[in-house]
Amino acid sequence: MAALRAANTISTKLTTKTAAFCTRSMSSWWGHVDQAPKDPILGVTEAFLADPSPSKVNVGVGAYRDDDGKPVVLNCVRQAEARIAGNLNMEYLPMGGSNHMVEETLKLAYGENSEFIKDKRIAAVQALSGTGACRLFADFQKRYQPESEIYIPVPTWSNHHNIWKDANVSQKTYHYYHPESKGLDFSAMMDDIKNAPKGSFFLLHACAHNPTGEKGHFPFFDMAYQGFASGDPERDAKAIRIFLEDGHLLGISQSFAKNMGLYGQRVGCLSVLCEDEKQASAVKSRLQQIARPMYSNPPVHGSLLVSVILSDPDLKKLWLSEVKGMAERIIGVRSALRDNLEKLGSPLSWEHITKQIGMFCYSGLTPEQVDRLTREYHIYLTRNGRISMAGVTTKNVEYLAKAIHEVSKSS
Protein backbone atom coordinates (compact mmCIF):
# COMPACT_ATOMS: atom_id res chain seq x y z
CA MET A 1 0.00 0.00 0.00
CA ALA A 2 2.84 2.36 0.83
CA ALA A 3 4.35 1.80 -2.61
CA LEU A 4 0.98 2.47 -4.23
CA ARG A 5 0.54 5.73 -2.31
CA ALA A 6 4.05 6.81 -3.32
CA ALA A 7 3.32 6.04 -6.96
CA ASN A 8 0.09 8.07 -6.83
CA THR A 9 1.94 11.00 -5.23
CA ILE A 10 4.66 10.97 -7.90
CA SER A 11 2.07 10.67 -10.67
CA THR A 12 0.08 13.62 -9.32
CA LYS A 13 3.17 15.83 -9.09
CA LEU A 14 4.29 14.90 -12.60
CA THR A 15 0.80 15.55 -14.00
CA THR A 16 0.66 18.94 -12.30
CA LYS A 17 4.10 19.95 -13.59
CA THR A 18 3.36 18.64 -17.07
CA ALA A 19 0.06 20.53 -17.22
CA ALA A 20 1.77 23.75 -16.18
CA PHE A 21 4.53 23.22 -18.73
CA CYS A 22 2.05 22.47 -21.51
CA THR A 23 0.01 25.56 -20.68
CA ARG A 24 3.12 27.69 -21.11
CA SER A 25 4.65 26.03 -24.17
CA MET A 26 2.29 23.77 -26.10
CA SER A 27 1.43 26.56 -28.55
CA SER A 28 5.12 26.81 -29.50
CA TRP A 29 5.72 23.15 -30.35
CA TRP A 30 4.63 23.39 -33.99
CA GLY A 31 3.89 27.08 -34.39
CA HIS A 32 6.94 27.50 -36.64
CA VAL A 33 5.77 24.86 -39.15
CA ASP A 34 4.52 26.46 -42.36
CA GLN A 35 2.37 24.92 -45.06
CA ALA A 36 4.26 22.65 -47.48
CA PRO A 37 4.06 23.60 -51.16
CA LYS A 38 1.73 21.45 -53.20
CA ASP A 39 3.28 18.54 -55.03
CA PRO A 40 3.55 19.63 -58.69
CA ILE A 41 1.92 16.39 -59.89
CA LEU A 42 -0.51 15.49 -57.11
CA GLY A 43 -1.57 19.14 -56.87
CA VAL A 44 -2.83 18.95 -60.45
CA THR A 45 -5.22 16.14 -59.54
CA GLU A 46 -6.44 18.03 -56.48
CA ALA A 47 -7.27 21.05 -58.63
CA PHE A 48 -8.97 18.84 -61.22
CA LEU A 49 -11.19 17.18 -58.61
CA ALA A 50 -12.21 20.57 -57.23
CA ASP A 51 -13.27 21.87 -60.67
CA PRO A 52 -17.05 21.50 -61.23
CA SER A 53 -16.80 21.94 -65.03
CA PRO A 54 -18.36 19.01 -66.98
CA SER A 55 -15.76 19.43 -69.74
CA LYS A 56 -12.70 19.17 -67.50
CA VAL A 57 -9.83 16.93 -68.60
CA ASN A 58 -6.98 15.58 -66.46
CA VAL A 59 -3.82 14.84 -68.41
CA GLY A 60 -1.55 15.19 -65.41
CA VAL A 61 -2.25 11.88 -63.66
CA GLY A 62 0.59 9.34 -63.83
CA ALA A 63 -1.67 6.30 -63.88
CA TYR A 64 -3.15 4.33 -66.75
CA ARG A 65 -6.78 4.91 -67.72
CA ASP A 66 -8.94 3.07 -70.24
CA ASP A 67 -10.66 4.80 -73.14
CA ASP A 68 -13.48 5.84 -70.81
CA GLY A 69 -10.97 7.52 -68.52
CA LYS A 70 -11.46 4.89 -65.82
CA PRO A 71 -8.84 3.06 -63.70
CA VAL A 72 -8.07 -0.49 -64.80
CA VAL A 73 -7.50 -3.71 -62.87
CA LEU A 74 -5.82 -6.21 -65.18
CA ASN A 75 -7.45 -9.59 -65.66
CA CYS A 76 -4.19 -11.33 -64.76
CA VAL A 77 -4.28 -9.48 -61.41
CA ARG A 78 -7.87 -10.49 -60.75
CA GLN A 79 -7.03 -14.12 -61.46
CA ALA A 80 -3.93 -13.97 -59.26
CA GLU A 81 -5.99 -12.49 -56.42
CA ALA A 82 -8.51 -15.30 -56.74
CA ARG A 83 -5.70 -17.85 -56.41
CA ILE A 84 -4.13 -16.37 -53.30
CA ALA A 85 -7.40 -15.49 -51.51
CA GLY A 86 -7.59 -17.55 -48.35
CA ASN A 87 -4.79 -19.86 -49.47
CA LEU A 88 -1.73 -18.04 -48.12
CA ASN A 89 -0.96 -16.48 -44.77
CA MET A 90 -0.19 -12.82 -44.23
CA GLU A 91 2.86 -13.19 -41.99
CA TYR A 92 5.69 -10.67 -42.03
CA LEU A 93 8.05 -10.94 -44.97
CA PRO A 94 11.82 -10.91 -44.32
CA MET A 95 13.53 -7.51 -44.39
CA GLY A 96 14.50 -8.14 -48.01
CA GLY A 97 10.97 -9.11 -48.97
CA SER A 98 9.75 -12.09 -50.97
CA ASN A 99 12.64 -14.04 -52.46
CA HIS A 100 10.29 -15.57 -55.03
CA MET A 101 9.06 -12.18 -56.20
CA VAL A 102 12.60 -10.80 -56.35
CA GLU A 103 13.85 -13.77 -58.38
CA GLU A 104 11.07 -13.37 -60.96
CA THR A 105 11.55 -9.61 -61.10
CA LEU A 106 15.28 -9.88 -61.77
CA LYS A 107 14.58 -12.05 -64.82
CA LEU A 108 12.60 -9.19 -66.37
CA ALA A 109 15.50 -6.76 -66.02
CA TYR A 110 18.60 -8.91 -66.47
CA GLY A 111 17.19 -11.63 -68.74
CA GLU A 112 15.56 -15.02 -68.23
CA ASN A 113 18.90 -16.83 -68.48
CA SER A 114 21.14 -14.11 -67.07
CA GLU A 115 24.63 -15.22 -66.09
CA PHE A 116 24.57 -12.59 -63.34
CA ILE A 117 21.55 -14.24 -61.73
CA LYS A 118 23.13 -17.70 -62.04
CA ASP A 119 26.40 -16.46 -60.53
CA LYS A 120 24.51 -14.77 -57.66
CA ARG A 121 26.17 -11.45 -58.38
CA ILE A 122 23.04 -9.37 -57.84
CA ALA A 123 22.12 -7.89 -54.46
CA ALA A 124 18.36 -7.45 -54.61
CA VAL A 125 15.53 -6.66 -52.21
CA GLN A 126 11.82 -6.07 -52.52
CA ALA A 127 11.09 -2.35 -52.24
CA LEU A 128 8.13 -0.03 -51.80
CA SER A 129 7.57 0.36 -55.53
CA GLY A 130 9.93 2.52 -57.59
CA THR A 131 9.97 5.41 -55.13
CA GLY A 132 11.03 3.14 -52.29
CA ALA A 133 13.68 1.47 -54.43
CA CYS A 134 15.17 4.83 -55.37
CA ARG A 135 15.12 6.05 -51.78
CA LEU A 136 16.73 2.87 -50.48
CA PHE A 137 19.48 3.19 -53.05
CA ALA A 138 19.96 6.90 -52.29
CA ASP A 139 20.50 6.11 -48.62
CA PHE A 140 22.87 3.28 -49.55
CA GLN A 141 24.81 5.65 -51.83
CA LYS A 142 25.12 8.26 -49.08
CA ARG A 143 26.27 5.71 -46.51
CA TYR A 144 28.88 3.92 -48.62
CA GLN A 145 29.92 6.58 -51.15
CA PRO A 146 29.37 9.67 -48.97
CA GLU A 147 31.32 12.10 -51.16
CA SER A 148 29.64 11.07 -54.42
CA GLU A 149 27.09 13.11 -56.35
CA ILE A 150 23.99 12.06 -58.23
CA TYR A 151 23.41 13.55 -61.68
CA ILE A 152 19.72 13.80 -62.52
CA PRO A 153 18.40 14.46 -66.05
CA VAL A 154 16.51 17.61 -67.04
CA PRO A 155 13.63 17.04 -67.08
CA THR A 156 12.80 14.14 -64.83
CA TRP A 157 10.12 12.99 -62.41
CA SER A 158 10.01 15.76 -59.80
CA ASN A 159 10.19 13.31 -56.89
CA HIS A 160 13.68 12.18 -57.95
CA HIS A 161 15.07 15.44 -56.58
CA ASN A 162 13.16 15.01 -53.31
CA ILE A 163 14.41 11.45 -52.85
CA TRP A 164 18.12 12.18 -53.16
CA LYS A 165 17.76 15.48 -51.30
CA ASP A 166 16.19 13.78 -48.28
CA ALA A 167 18.98 11.19 -48.37
CA ASN A 168 21.45 14.12 -48.19
CA VAL A 169 23.14 13.20 -51.47
CA SER A 170 24.63 16.12 -53.37
CA GLN A 171 22.77 16.66 -56.67
CA LYS A 172 23.62 18.04 -60.05
CA THR A 173 21.73 17.88 -63.33
CA TYR A 174 22.63 16.91 -66.85
CA HIS A 175 21.09 17.78 -70.19
CA TYR A 176 18.64 15.28 -71.61
CA TYR A 177 15.68 16.96 -73.31
CA HIS A 178 16.16 19.43 -76.17
CA PRO A 179 13.33 22.01 -76.03
CA GLU A 180 13.58 22.96 -79.69
CA SER A 181 13.68 19.48 -81.20
CA LYS A 182 11.58 18.06 -78.33
CA GLY A 183 13.91 15.06 -78.40
CA LEU A 184 17.19 13.91 -76.88
CA ASP A 185 19.91 16.54 -76.52
CA PHE A 186 22.66 13.97 -77.03
CA SER A 187 25.66 16.26 -77.55
CA ALA A 188 24.93 18.37 -74.47
CA MET A 189 24.29 15.22 -72.45
CA MET A 190 27.64 13.78 -73.48
CA ASP A 191 29.40 17.02 -72.57
CA ASP A 192 27.85 16.97 -69.10
CA ILE A 193 28.87 13.35 -68.58
CA LYS A 194 32.45 13.98 -69.72
CA ASN A 195 32.72 17.01 -67.42
CA ALA A 196 31.35 15.21 -64.35
CA PRO A 197 33.89 14.15 -61.71
CA LYS A 198 35.14 10.61 -62.11
CA GLY A 199 32.98 8.07 -60.30
CA SER A 200 29.78 10.11 -60.30
CA PHE A 201 26.36 8.48 -60.14
CA PHE A 202 23.96 9.02 -63.04
CA LEU A 203 20.24 8.50 -62.81
CA LEU A 204 19.02 7.14 -66.13
CA HIS A 205 15.67 6.32 -67.59
CA ALA A 206 15.58 3.13 -69.65
CA CYS A 207 16.62 4.56 -73.00
CA ALA A 208 19.07 2.99 -75.46
CA HIS A 209 22.32 4.86 -75.03
CA ASN A 210 25.44 4.10 -73.04
CA PRO A 211 27.15 7.31 -71.95
CA THR A 212 28.50 6.41 -68.51
CA GLY A 213 31.54 4.44 -69.62
CA GLU A 214 33.30 7.75 -70.25
CA LYS A 215 34.81 8.22 -66.78
CA GLY A 216 33.88 5.21 -64.69
CA HIS A 217 30.51 6.57 -63.62
CA PHE A 218 27.89 4.42 -61.93
CA PRO A 219 24.59 4.11 -63.84
CA PHE A 220 21.39 3.79 -61.85
CA PHE A 221 18.29 2.96 -63.87
CA ASP A 222 14.81 3.92 -62.77
CA MET A 223 12.72 1.50 -64.84
CA ALA A 224 9.14 2.34 -63.94
CA TYR A 225 7.56 1.47 -67.28
CA GLN A 226 9.01 -1.83 -68.46
CA GLY A 227 6.65 -3.19 -71.10
CA PHE A 228 4.54 -0.07 -70.98
CA ALA A 229 6.65 1.99 -73.39
CA SER A 230 6.75 -0.34 -76.40
CA GLY A 231 4.44 -3.13 -75.33
CA ASP A 232 7.38 -5.54 -75.04
CA PRO A 233 9.24 -5.89 -71.70
CA GLU A 234 12.29 -7.34 -73.45
CA ARG A 235 12.54 -4.39 -75.81
CA ASP A 236 12.10 -1.91 -72.97
CA ALA A 237 14.99 -3.53 -71.10
CA LYS A 238 17.34 -3.13 -74.06
CA ALA A 239 19.26 -0.22 -72.59
CA ILE A 240 20.05 -2.19 -69.45
CA ARG A 241 21.17 -5.17 -71.50
CA ILE A 242 23.52 -2.92 -73.49
CA PHE A 243 25.11 -1.67 -70.27
CA LEU A 244 25.49 -5.24 -69.03
CA GLU A 245 27.10 -6.32 -72.30
CA ASP A 246 29.54 -3.42 -71.98
CA GLY A 247 30.65 -4.68 -68.58
CA HIS A 248 29.08 -2.11 -66.28
CA LEU A 249 28.17 -2.61 -62.68
CA LEU A 250 24.84 -0.89 -62.20
CA GLY A 251 21.74 -0.43 -60.08
CA ILE A 252 18.09 -0.79 -61.10
CA SER A 253 14.82 0.34 -59.58
CA GLN A 254 11.84 -1.68 -60.84
CA SER A 255 8.17 -1.02 -60.23
CA PHE A 256 4.95 -2.89 -60.94
CA ALA A 257 2.74 0.17 -60.48
CA LYS A 258 2.39 0.99 -64.17
CA ASN A 259 2.91 -2.29 -66.00
CA MET A 260 0.67 -4.37 -63.72
CA GLY A 261 -1.55 -1.55 -62.48
CA LEU A 262 -0.50 -2.23 -58.87
CA TYR A 263 -0.26 1.45 -57.97
CA GLY A 264 -1.59 1.15 -54.43
CA GLN A 265 0.18 -2.12 -53.63
CA ARG A 266 3.60 -0.40 -53.59
CA VAL A 267 5.54 -3.35 -54.96
CA GLY A 268 8.93 -3.05 -56.61
CA CYS A 269 12.54 -4.17 -56.46
CA LEU A 270 15.97 -2.64 -55.96
CA SER A 271 18.94 -4.50 -57.40
CA VAL A 272 22.66 -3.76 -57.49
CA LEU A 273 24.99 -5.75 -59.75
CA CYS A 274 28.20 -6.55 -57.88
CA GLU A 275 31.64 -7.94 -58.70
CA ASP A 276 31.02 -11.37 -57.19
CA GLU A 277 28.70 -13.40 -54.94
CA LYS A 278 30.49 -12.38 -51.74
CA GLN A 279 30.13 -8.69 -52.52
CA ALA A 280 26.47 -9.15 -53.48
CA SER A 281 25.78 -10.84 -50.15
CA ALA A 282 27.39 -7.96 -48.25
CA VAL A 283 25.52 -5.30 -50.24
CA LYS A 284 22.18 -7.06 -49.75
CA SER A 285 22.80 -7.30 -46.00
CA ARG A 286 23.40 -3.56 -45.86
CA LEU A 287 20.32 -2.76 -47.94
CA GLN A 288 18.28 -4.81 -45.50
CA GLN A 289 19.93 -3.04 -42.60
CA ILE A 290 18.89 0.34 -44.03
CA ALA A 291 15.34 -0.89 -44.65
CA ARG A 292 14.89 -2.19 -41.09
CA PRO A 293 14.50 1.18 -39.28
CA MET A 294 12.87 2.77 -42.34
CA TYR A 295 9.90 0.42 -42.81
CA SER A 296 11.07 -2.89 -41.28
CA ASN A 297 9.84 -5.09 -44.12
CA PRO A 298 7.74 -4.62 -47.28
CA PRO A 299 4.04 -5.49 -47.68
CA VAL A 300 3.10 -9.01 -48.68
CA HIS A 301 -0.01 -8.78 -50.87
CA GLY A 302 1.52 -7.10 -53.90
CA SER A 303 4.51 -9.41 -53.84
CA LEU A 304 2.19 -12.42 -53.88
CA LEU A 305 0.37 -11.06 -56.92
CA VAL A 306 3.60 -10.44 -58.82
CA SER A 307 5.02 -13.84 -57.87
CA VAL A 308 1.92 -15.69 -59.03
CA ILE A 309 1.66 -13.79 -62.32
CA LEU A 310 5.31 -14.04 -63.31
CA SER A 311 5.78 -17.69 -62.30
CA ASP A 312 2.64 -19.07 -63.94
CA PRO A 313 3.06 -19.43 -67.74
CA ASP A 314 -0.60 -18.79 -68.52
CA LEU A 315 -0.90 -15.74 -66.28
CA LYS A 316 2.38 -14.33 -67.53
CA LYS A 317 1.19 -14.75 -71.12
CA LEU A 318 -2.03 -12.94 -70.20
CA TRP A 319 -0.05 -10.15 -68.52
CA LEU A 320 2.17 -9.69 -71.58
CA SER A 321 -0.95 -9.44 -73.73
CA GLU A 322 -2.57 -6.89 -71.42
CA VAL A 323 0.53 -4.71 -71.05
CA LYS A 324 0.84 -4.75 -74.85
CA GLY A 325 -2.77 -3.61 -75.08
CA MET A 326 -2.15 -0.71 -72.71
CA ALA A 327 0.91 0.37 -74.68
CA GLU A 328 -0.97 0.16 -77.97
CA ARG A 329 -3.77 2.37 -76.63
CA ILE A 330 -1.21 5.01 -75.64
CA ILE A 331 0.45 4.79 -79.07
CA GLY A 332 -2.98 5.16 -80.67
CA VAL A 333 -3.96 8.32 -78.79
CA ARG A 334 -0.57 9.82 -79.59
CA SER A 335 -1.38 9.46 -83.28
CA ALA A 336 -4.92 10.78 -82.75
CA LEU A 337 -3.73 13.90 -80.91
CA ARG A 338 -1.12 14.67 -83.54
CA ASP A 339 -3.61 14.10 -86.38
CA ASN A 340 -6.18 16.41 -84.80
CA LEU A 341 -3.63 19.18 -84.28
CA GLU A 342 -2.44 18.94 -87.87
CA LYS A 343 -6.02 18.96 -89.20
CA LEU A 344 -6.58 22.23 -87.37
CA GLY A 345 -3.81 23.78 -89.44
CA SER A 346 -1.42 24.34 -86.59
CA PRO A 347 1.69 26.21 -87.77
CA LEU A 348 3.79 24.16 -85.35
CA SER A 349 5.31 20.73 -85.80
CA TRP A 350 3.74 18.05 -83.60
CA GLU A 351 5.73 15.08 -84.83
CA HIS A 352 7.38 14.77 -81.42
CA ILE A 353 4.06 13.50 -80.03
CA THR A 354 4.44 10.27 -82.01
CA LYS A 355 8.23 10.13 -81.85
CA GLN A 356 8.26 10.04 -78.06
CA ILE A 357 7.20 6.84 -76.30
CA GLY A 358 5.64 5.84 -73.01
CA MET A 359 2.91 7.30 -70.87
CA PHE A 360 4.06 10.91 -71.02
CA CYS A 361 4.60 13.44 -73.79
CA TYR A 362 6.70 16.56 -73.39
CA SER A 363 4.46 18.79 -75.46
CA GLY A 364 6.63 21.89 -75.66
CA LEU A 365 3.87 24.04 -74.18
CA THR A 366 5.06 26.91 -72.02
CA PRO A 367 3.91 27.45 -68.41
CA GLU A 368 1.81 30.39 -69.61
CA GLN A 369 0.12 28.24 -72.25
CA VAL A 370 -0.55 25.55 -69.67
CA ASP A 371 -2.12 28.16 -67.40
CA ARG A 372 -4.45 29.17 -70.25
CA LEU A 373 -5.41 25.55 -70.86
CA THR A 374 -6.45 25.25 -67.24
CA ARG A 375 -8.06 28.64 -66.88
CA GLU A 376 -10.00 28.74 -70.16
CA TYR A 377 -10.50 25.07 -71.06
CA HIS A 378 -10.38 23.23 -67.69
CA ILE A 379 -7.52 21.05 -68.90
CA TYR A 380 -5.11 20.05 -66.15
CA LEU A 381 -1.43 19.16 -66.54
CA THR A 382 1.89 20.11 -64.95
CA ARG A 383 3.26 23.54 -65.86
CA ASN A 384 6.27 22.07 -67.66
CA GLY A 385 3.92 20.97 -70.45
CA ARG A 386 4.10 17.27 -69.69
CA ILE A 387 0.96 15.49 -70.89
CA SER A 388 -0.07 12.13 -69.51
CA MET A 389 -1.26 10.33 -72.62
CA ALA A 390 -3.21 7.94 -70.40
CA GLY A 391 -5.68 10.77 -69.79
CA VAL A 392 -6.36 11.18 -73.52
CA THR A 393 -9.37 9.28 -74.87
CA THR A 394 -11.29 9.06 -78.13
CA LYS A 395 -13.96 11.21 -76.44
CA ASN A 396 -11.72 14.10 -75.39
CA VAL A 397 -8.87 14.07 -77.92
CA GLU A 398 -10.57 16.51 -80.31
CA TYR A 399 -11.39 18.94 -77.50
CA LEU A 400 -7.83 18.67 -76.17
CA ALA A 401 -6.33 19.29 -79.62
CA LYS A 402 -8.51 22.37 -80.21
CA ALA A 403 -7.53 23.82 -76.84
CA ILE A 404 -3.83 23.19 -77.43
CA HIS A 405 -4.15 24.76 -80.87
CA GLU A 406 -5.82 27.87 -79.48
CA VAL A 407 -3.16 28.52 -76.83
CA SER A 408 -0.20 27.72 -79.09
CA LYS A 409 -1.11 28.99 -82.59
CA SER A 410 0.43 32.41 -82.03
CA SER A 411 3.77 30.96 -80.85
Residue of 214, 196, 109 whose CA lies nearest to 153: 196
Residue type, 185: D
Closest CA to 371 of 362, 380, 363: 380
Kindly give, in sequence order, each residue whose CB lies less than 8 Å from that of residue 47, ignoring residues fewer than 6 positions away.
374, 380
| Cα 73 from Cα 78, distance rounded (Å) | 7
Helix (H, G, I), strand (E, B) or coil at 327: helix
The CA–CA distances, whole Å, from 105 to 122, 237, 255 equal 12, 12, 9
> Which residues is 388 bridged to in the sheet?
360
Beta strand 360-362 with 386-388 is antiparallel
Asked if residue 247 lies in contact with residue 115, where contact means CB atoms within 8 angstroms, the answer is no
Alpha helices in 26-98 (DSSP H): 42-50, 75-84
Q: Report d(CA 125, CA 253) in Å as an integer.
A: 10
Q: Can you tell me the distance from the alpha carbon of 313 to that of 310, in angstroms, rounded to the nearest whole number? A: 7
**352, 364 Cβ separation under 8 angstroms:** yes
Active-site positions? 157, 222, 258
CB atoms within 10 A of CB 2: 6
